[in-house]
Amino acid sequence: MNRTLGLFTVSCILFFAACKVSQPGGVESSLMKDIKRTVTIGDKDKKNPLASTPDVIKEGGEHFQHHCQICHGLDGHATGVPFAAQMSPPVPDLGNKDIQDYTDGQLHWIVENGIAPSGMPAWKGILEDDEMWKVVLYIRNLPPKGSLGAPEIFKEEQEEHEQMEKGGKPEHHHHDAH
């Protein structure tokens, strides 16, 4: 009995030690980016059927603000999103070269299908196909980083945090569900 308990204990220790999470190295990260770009993300050759006009980009931005800003920030650079760096993997800056190097078809595929298990949801069935293409055009034409500030919900949390640090009671913001 003691031997079985001992083996079980050692097995548990080895199992949990093997589950240790750590930041991937440069070679591993580079390899995974290449695999994701060439194998995982589909529709590399699919072309955007919409013209990149100011009106289309503006409408894409409106869809982005409604569906994407909670994770990617108002500007697409994760500005003011307090959990962006703590996600695994971190929420990407959509203006980053790695993201901008995707083809329009690949960006559309990501919006449509999501990326499991990254936290990026699939928008198929929620956004119409032309709305997803408009979001792609907005991603191609993001405003400068920080230029739109933080999403309103995170501003309220930051204000409450600052108030608490000063020794005051936080003001609770109650949002109507209308």
Four-residue CA torsion sign, 17, 19, 21, 22 = positive
Torsion angle, alpha carbons of 41, 43, 47, 51, to 10: -50
Decide if 124 contacts 113 (C-beta within 8 A).
yes
pTM > 0.75: no
In this structure, is residue 30 part of a structural domain? Answer: no
In this structure, is residue 10 part of a structural domain? Answer: no
For 8, half-sphere exposure in the C-beta direction (CA atoms, 13 angstrom radius) is 5
Residue 103's domain spans which residues? 35-165
- CA distances to 24, 85, 102, 161 from 122, rounded to whole Å, are 25, 21, 17, 32
* Helix axis angle, 129-140 to 54-67, nearest 10°: 100
What is the Cα–Cα distance from 78 to 81, expressed in whole angstroms?
Answer: 6
> What is the tally of structural domains in the chain?
1
Q: How far is CA 81 from the centre of its chain?
A: 10
pLDDT digits (tens, 9 = 90+) for 125-171: 999 999 999 999 999 999 999 999 999 888 776 666 667 777 766 55
In this structure, is residue 119 part of a structural domain? Answer: yes
In this structure, is residue 124 part of a structural domain? Answer: yes
The answer, yes or no, to whether residue 38 has pLDDT greater than 60, is no
- Peptide bond preceding 144: is omega within 30 degrees of 0, i.e. cis? no
In this structure, is residue 6 part of a structural domain? Answer: no
CATH number where 42 lies: 1.10.760.10
The answer, yes or no, to whether residue 37 has pLDDT greater than 60, is no
**From 33-37, 115-119, 168-172, the region with the lowest mean pLDDT:** 33-37
What is the Cα–Cα distance from 1 to 81, expressed in whole angstroms?
Answer: 52
In this structure, is residue 16 part of a structural domain? Answer: no
In this structure, is residue 75 part of a structural domain? Answer: yes
In this structure, is residue 127 part of a structural domain? Answer: yes
What is the Cα–Cα distance from 135 to 76, expressed in whole angstroms?
Answer: 11
